Amino acid sequence: MEDQLFRTIMGSFATGVTVITTQVDDEIHGMTANAFMSVSLQPKLVAISIGEKAKMLGYINSSKKFAINILAANQKDLSKQFAGQLNSDEVVAFETYQGQPIIKNSLAVISCELFNQLDAGDHTIFIGRVTGLKHEPHEPLLFFGGKYQEIKE
Ligand code: FAD
Ligand code: NAD
């Protein structure tokens, strides 16, 4: 089965865009991800899927915690920055929430402690137990067909 067909079909499932953030010692690391889902209400669990080549894998294995920053429509450049698609020296301003670095002015933030993890082919699924939830009234950034989109009335 062709990789390109798989990507095309997966890309036809419209998603929001998140940046996963974590900190190991003094180093803050961020990574753009759309493989994110809600898993359980009692207890509150969410899941993310991280590729085997991503540096984020080692960071979460060390920190055992992470935050999921759901991006607002005006944060497309941050998505590109944390996907390694921008050659920018701009310093990203992080805030601290529940002891974790988060991205300012995101639509929502979910802070997590690592609950469980599962090897899944060339990715690792990290399940997080939710330790904090933060929300601001912004429009979402969307990803569909390999392109960024916004909600149009
Ligand atoms: P790097 O490639 O080293 O870091 C990513 C970028 O973030 C670099 O440009 C780095 O300079 C910057 N950065 C990191 N920390 C900071 C900081 N503190 N301050 C400023 N800049 C910083 N991959 C997946 O595994 N799972 C997914 O669900 C997923 N979804 C994606 C969705 C979209 C819409 C896109 C565009 C990409 C997605 N990717 C996903 C791919 C993933 O974002 C890239 O492969 C990413 O480069 C992997 O990051 P890394 O952890 O290897 O670190
Ligand atoms: P794309 O057209 O490559 O991706 C479309 C969809 O395919 C994505 O939304 C995702 O659901 C799926 N997909 C893509 N690469 C995947 C991978 N390696 N493993 C599992 N699923 C994958 O989108 P794009 O704009 O060209 O993406 C930019 C870069 O980010 C590419 O290198 C892509 O591989 C990577 N990416 C990775 C994931 C992921 O690992 N889950 C998700 C999205 C994008």
ipTM of the prediction: 0.96
What's the confidence (pLDDT) of residue 124? Answer: 98
Ligand 1: which atom is nearest the Cα of residue 51? Answer: 25
Mean pLDDT of 98-105: 96
CB of 7 closer than 6 A to ligand 2?
yes
Q: If you average pLDDT over every residue of the chain, what do you get?
A: 96
Q: Is residue 59 part of a domain?
A: yes
Residue 37, domain member (yes or no): yes
Pocket residue to mutate for ligand 1, from 82, 117, 142, most atoms within 8 A of Cβ: 82
Ligand nearest to the CA of 16: 1
Cβ–ligand 2 contact at 35 (below 6 Å): yes
pLDDT of residue 90: 79
Host domain of residue 100: 17-138
> What's the pLDDT at 25?
96
pLDDT value, residue 93: 87
What's the domain count of the chain? 1
| Structure confidence at residue 127 (pLDDT) | 98
User: Quick check: CB of 102 below 6 Å from ligand 1?
Assistant: no
Core vs surface per residue 53-86: b (16+ CB within 10 A) or e: ebebbebbeebebbbbbbbbbebbebbebbeeee
Distance 43 CA to ligand 1 centre (A): 29
What is the CATH classification number for the domain harbouring 53?
A: 2.30.110.10
Residue 153 lies in a domain: no
Span 18-45, pLDDT tens digits: 999 999 999 999 999 999 999 999 999 9
Q: Write out pLDDT tens, residues 73-90.
A: 999 999 999 999 998 877
Instruction: Please compute the mean of the pLDDT values over residues 45-52 and round it to a whole number.
Output: 98
